[in-house]
């Protein structure tokens, strides 16, 4: 798959590295070409360039910039991104009230704002729940099960692309419905990351009903 990455930081490096290892054709695009070149070299990407280069390279384009600037970045690339799958991995979170709060207020999502900023793009929310370090693992699996990657979006073809991408990484696709669900995925990240920061394990709060069975 041809993948463009917008951003040159931690998520660009770790997710981009995972995609290179999975055999995808990755180009790193940044506002700083030297940083894009360094990230591309670090992960063995096929190329590097500007943000526009990243947008036009990808059948699928990852937006890996801070949440507060992501809609503006996408708006500036709206023509280039038209018709492409745009993956939003951002987390709109900030410390507040002794934990983390959504900077969106929780009534809309960054993914929705990106879709409004670039109406021709097919936005999919994905890859925002895990810390970047998880993507450095060759085939992430925990407690005997491959990592599940939740995602949501409205365009069937883009959802198929993201499903194929997640599968290529040895992970399990977890489709969560339309882009309206992005508010929940973003809120889940705020909850989980806030819990990690406070030293607790959010995954222990979600046993399935089947685990109540004496045979489980
Ligand atoms: N790190 C994680 O574990 C993690 C996990 C899940 C989700 N996320 C989300 O992923 C996104 C990226 O996180 P990260 O950790 O990769 O951040 P990062 O290491 O700080 O990298 C951010 C990238 O965004 C670029 N950038 C910042 N402002 C920009 C602008 N106005 N226009 C264009 N590019 C701009 C930066 O470029 P410069 O170097 O030129 O400033 C840098 O390349 C964030 O939204 C974050 O919430 C992160």
Domain segments of the chain as ranges: 2-203
CA distance 43 to 38: 9
Query: What integer pLDDT is reported at residue 191 of this predicted model?
Result: 95
Distance 10 CA to ligand 1 centre (A): 7
Q: Is the CB of 64 under 6 A from ligand 1?
A: yes
pLDDT digits (tens, 9 = 90+) for 128-179: 999 999 999 999 999 999 999 999 999 999 999 999 999 999 999 999 999 9
Asked if 216 contacts 207 with a C-beta cutoff of 8 angstroms, the reply is: no
CATH 3.40.50.720 applies to domain 2-203: yes
30-83, pLDDT tens digit by residue?
A: 999 999 999 999 999 999 999 999 999 999 999 999 999 999 999 999 999 999
For 11, 122, 137, 184, the CA distances from 30, given in Å and listed in that order, are 13, 21, 24, 29
CA distance 49 to 155: 28
Evaluate: CB of 8 within 6 angstroms of ligand 1: yes
Q: What is the mean pLDDT of the chain?
A: 97
Total-model pTM: 0.98
Å from CA of 7 to ligand 1 middle: 6
Which mutation among 14, 65, 100, 134 tests ligand 1's pocket best, with the greatest number of atoms within 8 A of CB? 65
The CA distances from residue 14 to 44, 98, 106, in Å, are: 12, 29, 27
Which of ligand 1's atoms lies nearest the C-alpha of 72? 31
According to the model, what pLDDT value does residue 216 have? Answer: 64
């Amino acid at each position: 798959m041809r993948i463009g990455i917008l951003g040159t930081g931690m998520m660009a490096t770790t997710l981009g590295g995972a995609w290179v290892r999975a055999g995808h054709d990755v180009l790193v695009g940044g506002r700083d070409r030297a940083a894009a070149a360094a990230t591309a070299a670090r992960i063995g990407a096929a190329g590097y360039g500007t943000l526009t280069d990243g947008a036009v390279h990808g059948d699928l384009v990852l937006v890996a910039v801070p949440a507060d600037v992501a809609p503006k970045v996408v708006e500036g690339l709206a023509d280039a991104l038209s018709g492409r799958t745009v993956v939003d991995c951002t987390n709109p979170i900030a410390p507040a009230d002794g934990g983390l709060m959504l900077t969106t207020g929780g009534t809309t999502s960054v993914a929705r704002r990106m879709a409004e900023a670039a109406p021709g793009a097919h936005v999919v929310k994905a890859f925002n729940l895990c810390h970047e370090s998880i993507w450095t693992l060759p085939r992430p699996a925990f407690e005997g099960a491959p990592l599940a990657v939740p995602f949501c979006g409205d365009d069937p073809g883009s959802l198929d692309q993201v499903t194929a991408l997640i599968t290529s990484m040895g992970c399990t696709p977890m489709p969560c419905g339309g882009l309206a669900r992005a508010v929940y995925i973003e809120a889940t990240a705020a909850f989980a990351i806030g819990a990690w920061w406070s030293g607790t394990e959010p995954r222990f709060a979600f046993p399935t009903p089947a685990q109540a069975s004496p045979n489980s």
